[in-house]
Amino acid sequence: MGSLAAADEPLPPLKYPQVRRDDGIVDDYHGVLVPDPYRWMEELDSPEVEEFVDAQAAVADAVLSACDDHRGRLRRQLTALFDHPRFRAPFKRRHDTYFYFHNPGLRPHSALYVQHGLGGEPRVLLDPNDFSEDGTVSLGMVGVCDGGDHLAYGTSASGSDWVTIRVMRVRDGEHLPDTLSWVKFSRIAWTGDGLGFFYSRFPAPRDGGEALDSGIKTGVNLNHEVYYHFLGTEQSQDVLCWRDPDHPKYIYIPEVTEDGKYVILSVSETSEPVNKLYYCDLSALAHGLEGMKGTTHGMLPFVKLVDKFEACYGLIANDGTEFTFLTNKDAPRYKLSRVDVDEPESWTDVLPEDEKAVLESACAVHGDKLMVNYLSDVKYVLQMRSLVTGELLHDIPIDIGTVNGISGRRVDSEVFIEFASFLTPGIIYRCDVSTEVFYPSKDGTKIPMFIVSKKSLSLNGSHPALLFGYGGFGMSMTPQFSVTRVVLMRNLGFVACVANIRGGGEYGEGWHRAGSLANKQNCFDDFIAAGEFLVSTGYTNPARLCIEGGSNGGLLVAACMNQRPDLFGCALAHVGVMDMLRFHKFTIGRAWTCDFGCSENKEEFHWLIKYSPLHNVQRPWEKGADDSRCFRGSGGQYPPTLLLTADHDDRVVPSHTLKFLATMQHVLRAGAEGSPQTNPIIARIERKSGHGCGRSTQKIIDEAADRYAFAAKMMGVSWID
Contacts of 471 (CB under 8 A, 6+ apart): 501, 502, 503, 504, 515, 523, 526, 527, 552, 553, 556
Q: Is 529 inside any structural domain?
A: yes
Q: How far apart are CA 600 and CA 395, in angstroms?
A: 50
**Number of domains, the chain:** 3
| Cα-Cα-Cα-Cα dihedral sign, residues 539, 540, 545, 546 | negative
- φ/ψ of 511, rounded to 5, equals -65, -40
Angle between helix 602-611 and helix 521-536 axes, rounded to 10 deg: 20
The pLDDT, as a whole number, for residue 207 is 56
- Do residues 499 and 531 make contact, with C-beta atoms less than 8 angstroms apart? no
* CA quadruple 152, 156, 160, 162: dihedral, nearest 10: -40
Question: Do 59 and 107 belong together in one domain?
Answer: no
What's the pLDDT at 694? 65
The 10s digit of each residue's pLDDT in 90-135 is 888 988 899 999 888 888 889 999 998 877 899 999 999 998 888 8
Going edge to edge, which strands form the sheet with 343-351?
A: 313-319, 322-327, 335-340, 343-351
- pLDDT of the residue at 134: 82
Cα separation, 381 vs 359, in Å, equals: 9
Paired residues of 28 in beta bridges: 33
Of residues 462, 684, 650, 664, the one with CA closest to residue 573: 684
Can you say how many angstroms the Cα of residue 110 is from the centroid of all Cα atoms in its chain?
Answer: 19
* Predicted pLDDT of residue 296: 62
Whether residues 106 and 155 fall in one domain: no
pLDDT confidence of residue 295: 61
Q: Judge if 551 and 683 occupy the same domain.
A: yes
Alpha carbon of 599 to those of 28, 73, 609: distances in Å? 11, 46, 8
Among 504, 500, 513, 514, smallest CA distance to 475 is for: 504
- Pairwise CA distance, residues 452 & 468, whole Å: 12
Whether residue 242 is found in the same domain as residue 173: yes
Residue 22 DSSP label: -
Residue 184 covered by a domain: yes
DSSP codes of every residue in 141-180: EEEE-TTSSEEEEEEEETT-S-EEEEEEETTT-PEEEEEE
**Residue 431, pLDDT score:** 55
How many angstroms separate the CA atoms of 156 and 136, rounded?
8
Residue 366 corresponds to which amino acid?
Answer: H
| C-alpha–C-alpha distance, residues 227 and 242, integer Å | 7
Task: Verify that 139 and 288 share a domain, yes or no.
Answer: yes
113: DSSP letter: E
Beta strand 379-386 with 392-396 is antiparallel
pLDDT at 297: 67
Instruction: Decide: helix, strand or coil at residue 615.
Output: helix
Distance CA 519, CA 527 (A): 14
Q: What angle, rounded to 10 degrees, do the helices at 552-563 and 521-536 form?
A: 70
pLDDT of residue 583: 94
Domain harbouring 496, CATH code: 3.40.50.1820
**SS3 at position 453:** coil
Active site residues: 551, 649, 691
Structural domain ending residue among the three candidates 69, 96, 130: 130
- Cβ distance 129 to 108 under 8 Å? yes
Give the 3-state DSSP-derived string for 556-596, with helices as H, strands as E and coil as C. Answer: HHHHHHHHCHHHCCEEEEECCCCCCCCHHHCCCHHHHHHHH
Q: Which residues contact 294 (CB under 8 A, 6 or more apart)?
A: none
State the CATH number of the domain containing residue 155.
2.130.10.120
- The Cα 387–Cα 368 span in angstroms is 5
Do 36 and 152 lie in one domain? The reply is no
Residues 151 and 164 occupy one common structural domain: yes
Is residue 481 a contact partner of residue 536, using CB atoms and an 8 Å limit? no
Q: Are 312 and 635 in contact (CB under 8 A)?
A: no
Q: Is 488 helix (H, G, I), strand (E, B) or coil?
A: helix
Pairwise CA distance, residues 486 & 484, whole Å: 5
Answer whether 415's CB lies under 8 Å from 407's CB: yes
Domain end residue (candidates: 130, 151, 167): 130
Q: Specify if 504 maps to a domain.
A: yes
* Residue 702 and residue 584 in one domain: yes
Query: Hey, which residues does 165 pair with through a beta bridge?
Result: 154, 180
Q: How far apart are CA 111 and CA 131, in angstroms?
A: 11
Question: Are 637 and 566 contacting, i.e. CB atoms less than 8 angstroms apart?
Answer: no
Domain co-membership, 542 together with 527 = yes
**Contact by Cβ (8 Å): 447, 529:** yes
The full 3-state SS of 402-449, as one line of letters, equals EEEEEECCCCCCCEEEEEECCCCCCEEEEECCCEEEEEECCCCCEEEE
H helix or E strand, kind and range, residue 56 = helix 47-65
Three-state secondary structure call for residue 237:
helix
Question: Is residue 280 in a domain?
Answer: yes
Tell me: do 168 and 230 sit in the same domain: yes
AA identity, residue 239: V
Residue 424 inside a domain? The answer is no
Q: For residue 600, what are the domain limits? A: 30-80+437-619+644-715
Rounded to 5 degrees, what angle do the CA atoms 584, 587, 591 make?
50
CB 244 within 8 A of CB 226: no
* Residue 362: inside a domain: no
Among 98, 130, 162, the domain-final residue is 130
- Co-location of 193 and 255 in the same domain: yes
Q: Which amino acid makes up residue 73?
A: R
Residue 149 lies in a domain: yes
H helices of 222-291, in order, are none
The answer to whether position 378 is within a domain reads: no
* Same domain as 113, residue 141: no
Residues of the chain with pLDDT under 70: 1-9, 206-218, 295-297, 429-435, 623-635, 692-694
Assess contact for 91 and 144: CB atoms under 8 A.
Answer: yes
> What per-residue confidence (pLDDT) applies to 5?
36
